[in-house]
Amino acid sequence: MELVLSAVTGGLYAAGLFMMMRRSLFNMILGLILLGHAANLLLFTLGGLERGNPAFVASDPAAAASFPDPLPQALILTAIVIGFGVNAFAVVLIRRAHGAIGADDLDELKSTDCSD
């Protein structure tokens, strides 16, 4: 299972980097989203996978060794919220740049002056 998740994580990172290298602003946003998902999946995989075990520790300390670590799950929840905020800001920023410039190409964003 960890091998499959590692391969999917690598594929998401590769696709995200490929999309961010394109000249289109839309592709750059998609690449940013894919990189965020890849980072979340990487944290989830590093936390250790245990099928059928809940992510909390029982009252018996001897049984605590068989439970997965809940910290990566908490980090992923935080990363999802932060990633959503960053993606929303990037979408608004790129929409504003597209409205000011009138194009989706990064080569046409040569200056920061806006002619409003």
Domains and CATH numbers, the chain: 2-51+66-108 (1.10.287.3510)
The answer to whether 24 and 106 have CB atoms below 8 angstroms apart is: yes
Residue 106: closest CA among 12, 1, 21: 21
Question: Alpha-carbon distance 69 to 76, whole Å?
Answer: 12
Q: What is residue 17's predicted lDDT score, i.e. its pLDDT? A: 95
Q: What is residue 56's predicted lDDT score, i.e. its pLDDT? A: 60
55-63, long-range: CB < 8 A, 24+ apart: none
Q: In 3-state terms, what secondary structure has residue 58?
A: coil
Per-residue pLDDT of the chain (116 residues; tens, 9 = 90+): 788 989 999 999 999 999 999 888 889 889 999 999 999 999 888 877 666 665 565 666 666 666 666 788 888 899 999 999 999 998 898 888 888 878 778 777 766 565 55
Provide the H-helix boundaries in the chain. Answer: 2-20, 25-46, 71-101
The answer to whether 8 and 37 have CB atoms below 8 angstroms apart is: no
Rounded to a whole number of angstroms, the distance between the first and last alpha carbons of the chain is 54
Residue 116 DSSP symbol: -
pTM for the predicted model, two decimal places: 0.74
